[in-house]
Structure 1
């Protein structure tokens, strides 16, 4: 029989056992919470009192060769609201009214949107449930200053639930200038092509907040520094680009063509100095963009070049030793039948030397030079000048042109290809070929990006100038074709309107009639009018190609494109401060009958002082009146192009 003491002991043991068990349970539970699940629960708790946001740096800028800004960044703001945080109807009405006053938004639509507190959410099983609506876009994009003014108005009117998302948008300070080349993200041009280079780093910023979600100025937090994208410096010169675009505007006004292009490059480096086309667009305002003006047609499209192809064929024939400038060909008095197909010359002649074939742009003479070369050598020459290949310009897409492999040539190809028919080329391919003619037969890849700069460290990575491919077997003959091309712009040539007083201009006209697929024949009034050349001829500062598509009033390259070449080239020569080989004689001033006239020597009797170029370490001084090809080191930059971009 248990005594009262035994009963007490039993109860004590029972209580101790229960309490011990509870203690062990609590201890285990605490161990589980504090040790085993520490990281898991810490993260859950941290979500309650911390917040995070994503920060992105600025996209890298794009500038010209001299550092002039072409694409930059401007701060803008996106205004959003949380309808559930707009507590009263009066606050919603005030906010809708402010949106109407400041941004011109419809008051009724804004008020309806702000008072809609819920939305339907579709679940994975197909059911729909009603959830809180915590986001609505008020203003997609507004300038930073306007957003700050709007924020102050919200504070004065005690309107909660409105948030401001700041970011940078791309800005084109020169509007239309170089727009087709620059492009924009989501389309084409340098901007999307170089997106990986200009892309900034994105980091997360973590900070503590109070119960209302407002940021605390104390407590733990983590913030990483954002890193801006790298800056790209193009080979383009903004002043020269402006010259091209201004002159193209004049061409569009005078000749009313469908399209016009002008492209300029440095023959010694392959640097694109300027590239323009019309029509174009303003990348700052894309709402009214014409789809015909978006694409960079000078790189993407092809055309039959016509007679601008002839110098390459003649250069190849001279290099192979098959002809000399004095070799004569029978030009059939302007009409020649070959394989039952006729070929005509605009200026009928009987016998013409190779020099005059170029000067008078004889189709028949050039076709017969092609026959003398033979298919294999002709194919080799045209491919050596880069036709059927990419030019190296870092903009996509780029056409390789339409150039048939040798095994697909027909019987007429050997006579049509030399005069620029039956082949499709892009304007930049023509430019590259003429750069090779200007540089003594050195075919270079075209460059559009000069260097990349890291804005944080200032480190510069220069885009290398690759060694050229040497076309000519006999480089000493390079000057011959240049001298022949100079006669084209001299009296009696087909491009006297391209001549620039005081300078030797080497070039060639091109008039290629457009193929009409429906009629299966070439058009009589639709053509590509082209002039391609370089100046000064024997020491070229640049090569330039002008192409005008379907000019109204004339179809000829010598009438339409040559004057535009002259205006662009003469203005560029003045900008580059390239002196003429001799100063033009100024006309005598008009004198009234009552003015006493002092006897003056006749201008032609005054001995002109010869111009002697200054010597430089990389460039020997030519003899008086000499016209010799001057080789330049591959790394040599022309005039305002410096070897060390870090000094720009």
Structure 2
């Protein structure tokens, strides 16, 4: 009996010890979890949305260049429930339009896998909705790595970069420019290389990325409340050009047509609003598609209007003439002996195409006499010759809002001590100018002796569609109004009576000067030419434009004189301005 009670007591004691041990273990475990960090899934979320580069518009409202985001789809293979992997592949294939076998191949990798780098905004939006559905269907599960970290990520749709689209392919190239891509930590950014893209790169650059940090919901979206952090997205400024696309495209077609007809290397056409310096067209036949630049496009990437300098030939004559007239060194009615078309200056011979015994100073310009220009140019002292060319803008940049503008070349002032050098410069040799310098120089004569800096961008536009007009350099007076008007009237006579007769359009006032310049190669002049016609057109309503035409290296066998190349194109351009309602001929 006693032995039986002893066994019963032992069992009860053992039971109490077991219960006590279990209770102590429970208390210890509870205390441990209270005083140590728990490895739970992260309930915080962070969202970054990159701002993008500003757009470029034409003055008539056409979108020329714009940026768009590209997204990538990322998934962690450890978070996909093996039982629902097939469902994930099927749905992702439907939403992304990526074949199943491609997705399955990529999912053979372990860890974070990029399923696609090139997803557009619309598809990215659909895939974000898919992520919510996949979470609802419990396609994703939590996973604990070897370090004891627990994580659960869904399908992540994140930005991979930014792409730039040029909606009208080669339109307005090369002055519109192009970009290159560079890595900026987590994404790819674009930066301007040439043209407007380069000169306004800082204004176009994105200003501020969107940043959201806070608690997340089931779809891994940030919940915005008083505890979250928020920074707004601000894209780059938009650029509004002064050039209307409709006019520019039609001018480009003219350059293309004439390039083929004349067998030219390149043709440039520039149209400037005389009273402001605003460029309304700057077209080249050498263009490229910035969406797909190839090796053969490399020669066209530079804007010849500002990056190529050349000896101008006879188009410089009105500028030298105006300098002499403004300094009272010549009189238009004064008679000059022209040596019957052949003149020896020291050991250098100067010839004229039109062999005249003599003419008035004004007729020197009308008939483009090299001999006449050589003789009257000697009246300029070396310093005033040099400084007057500088005042007109030669040997320095015009101030146009395009990058990599060349200065051209005016040789050292000491060269002007030479009578021969004074002579050659007077008819366009021995110095180098750019197309834009010549256009600005002619506009000074056309616009009452006042020089305006040319420009091709008129406004900056902030994302709220508010426009800010850009300020430009104050205009400078270079010639007296009287001198400018006299030279302008002589240019009108050149078109009526001289070398520019085929530029006339009924009901409009047109003036200008032709120039056909030999090209030097290897230290000597060869049988290649640059032909130009620079001038202006105005109507009775007060509309007035300075226009420059340059035909680089036309076919030297058939037709290369400016009167046969640049002048007919000038007339076509004027007729187009009439058709497009920029000019109104009197009846």
TM-score where L is the length of structure 2: 0.79
Q: Give the CA deviation at 1:573.
A: 3.1
Judged with a 3 Å threshold, the aligned counterparts in structure 2 of structure 1 residues 289 and 72 are, in CA distance, closer, same or farther, namely farther
- Alignment partner, residue 486 of structure 2: 480
What is the match of residue 447 of structure 1?
455
- Structure 2 counterpart SS, 1:502: coil
Q: CA separation of 1:378/1:540 partners in 2, compared to 1, >3 Å: closer, same or farther?
A: farther
CA distance in 2, matches of 1:573, 1:257: 26
Deviation, 1:247, is 1.1
**1:176 maps onto 2:170 in alignment:** yes
Report the 3-state secondary structure (helix = DSSP H, G, I; strand = E; otherwise coil) of the residue aligned with 1:179: coil
Are 1:482 and 1:537, in contact at CA under 8 Å, matched by a contact in 2? no
Residues 215, 508 of structure 1: alpha-carbon distance in 2 compared, 3 angstrom cutoff: same
Aligned pairs, number: 520
Contact 1:438 1:540 in 2 (8 A): no
- Counterpart for residue 291 of structure 2: 284
- The answer to whether the aligner puts 1:490 opposite 2:534 as a matched pair is no
Q: Distance in 2 between matches of 1:484 and 1:470?
A: 20
Q: SS at the partner of 1:200?
A: coil
Q: Distance in 1 between matches of 2:86 and 2:339?
A: 88
- The offset of 1:409, in angstroms, is 4.4
Question: CA shift at 1:482, angstroms?
Answer: 0.9
Encode CA deviations 1:363-382: one digit per residue, 9 max, x unaligned.
11111121122323322321
Superposed, 1:182-331 pairs within 5 Å as 182-184=176-178, 185-198=191-204, 199-209=206-216, 214-215=220-221, 220-286=227-293, 290-331=297-338
C-alpha deviation, 1:152, in angstroms: 8.1
Asked if the contact 1:265–1:542 (Cα under 8 Å) also holds between the matched residues in 2, the reply is: yes
- Alignment partner of 2:267: what SS? strand
Q: How does 1:368-383 map to 2 (within 5 A)?
A: 368-383=375-390
Residue 437 in structure 1 maps to residue 437 in structure 2: no
Deviation at 1:146, TM superposition (A): 4.7
Correspondence list, 1:30-179, <5 A? 48-82=42-76, 85=79, 113-117=106-110, 134-136=112-114, 138-147=115-124, 163-166=156-159, 169-179=163-173
Which of 480, 486, 507 is equivalent to 2:512? Answer: 507
Change (3 A) 1:186 1:67: closer
In the alignment, which residue of structure 1 is the partner of 2:148?
Answer: none
Deviation at 1:82, TM superposition (A): 4.4
Post-superposition offset of 1:469? 1.4
If the length of structure 1 is used for normalisation, what is the TM-score?
0.72
Aligned-residue RMSD, C-alpha: 3.6
Relative to its length, the structure with more strand (as a share) is: 2
Deviation at 1:389, TM superposition (A): 1.5
CA displacement at 1:502 relative to structure 2: 2.1
Gaps of at least 5 residues in structure 1 are 1-25, 34-40, 118-132, 584-648
For the 8 Å contact 2:89–2:100, the answer to whether it is kept is: no
Deviation at 1:497, TM superposition (A): 2.4
The 5 Å alignment of 1:246-645 reads 246-286=253-293, 290-409=297-416, 411=418, 412-456=420-464, 459-472=466-479, 474-491=480-497, 493-517=498-522, 520-524=523-527, 526-536=528-538, 541-552=544-555, 553-581=558-586, 583=587
